Amino acid sequence: MLRLVVLLLALANVAYFAWSRGALAPLGMTPSVQTEPQRMATQIRPEAIRLLNADETRQLENSGGAARPGNGASAAAEATAPECLQAGLFNEQQTTTLRASLEKALPSGSWQFESSAEPARWIVYMGKYPSEDALAKKRNELRQLGVAFRPVSNDALAPGLALASFAQQADADKELARVANKGVRTARVVQERAEARGQILKLAAVDAALHAQLDVLKPQLEGKALRPCP
């Protein structure tokens, strides 16, 4: 009985193998073929698909990837939204000259002057140095000590270095003591800029058209850059 079962199983395996390979096709016994022609029909221009090269990939990453639905309109709105810009401080003579130009060039109500003041600025100062070589040597020494610095903005103090800036002399004195503990021995506290009062030019709603008009006026801003309003 056991031999009969084993023989039947062997014959069944042989028959299945022959059927799966199509050997029984002449007898009308073939396995069904699994295909999905509807997927091929729904493909849209498959021949247009291609791999991006390295430059194209970087450009896509820098642009934030593919645009999402609905983002185009919001991005365009942000790009054209008016912004508030200001420039200054202008003294009385500069304000008078600039006001005359603005009245001729810009729409009425698009700009205004506001009174403002720049506080005095005290710095921890090193200088003046007799040569550029001496200045470069001092820069290297400060880097080795881990002390930050910048060029001075007051021509009367140049060539020299400002290690820190403060609105109050007392704060500058405290910083002088701190850098002295780091090994800075020849610095001192000086006033880099006195308090200044004047006018700020403010443009509350600058759109693309007004931007173009402002480009013509830039030479009359006395080198003072237009910057976002605080």
Q: Is the pLDDT of residue 38 over 70?
A: no
**pLDDT class of 223 with cuts at 50, 70, 90:** confident
CATH domain 81-116+198-228 topology: Alpha-Beta Plaits (3.30.70)
Q: Quick one: average pLDDT of 92-118?
A: 91
pTM for this entry: 0.49
- The whole-number pLDDT of residue 41 equals 55
Nearest CA to 102 among 224, 202, 230?
Answer: 202
List, in sequence order, every residue forming a beta bridge with 200; answer none if it has no partner: 114
pLDDT at 221: 87
> pLDDT, tens digit, for every residue of 173-196?
999 999 999 999 999 999 999 999
Instruction: Inform me whether the pLDDT recorded for 76 exceeds 50.
Output: no
More confident residue, 224 or 71: 224
- Report whether 82 contacts 207 (CB < 8 A): yes
pLDDT of residue 80: 65
- DSSP sequence for 150-171: EE-S-GGG-SEEEEEEESSHHH
The per-residue pLDDT of the chain, averaged, comes to 81
pLDDT of residue 130: 95
Q: Where are the domains of the chain?
A: 81-116+198-228, 121-193
Spatial separation of the C-alpha atoms in residues 127 and 17, rounded to whole Å:
96
3-state secondary structure of 188: strand
Contacts of 20 (CB under 8 A, 6+ apart): 31
Among candidate residues 199, 196, 212, 205, the one with its CA nearest the CA of residue 99:
199
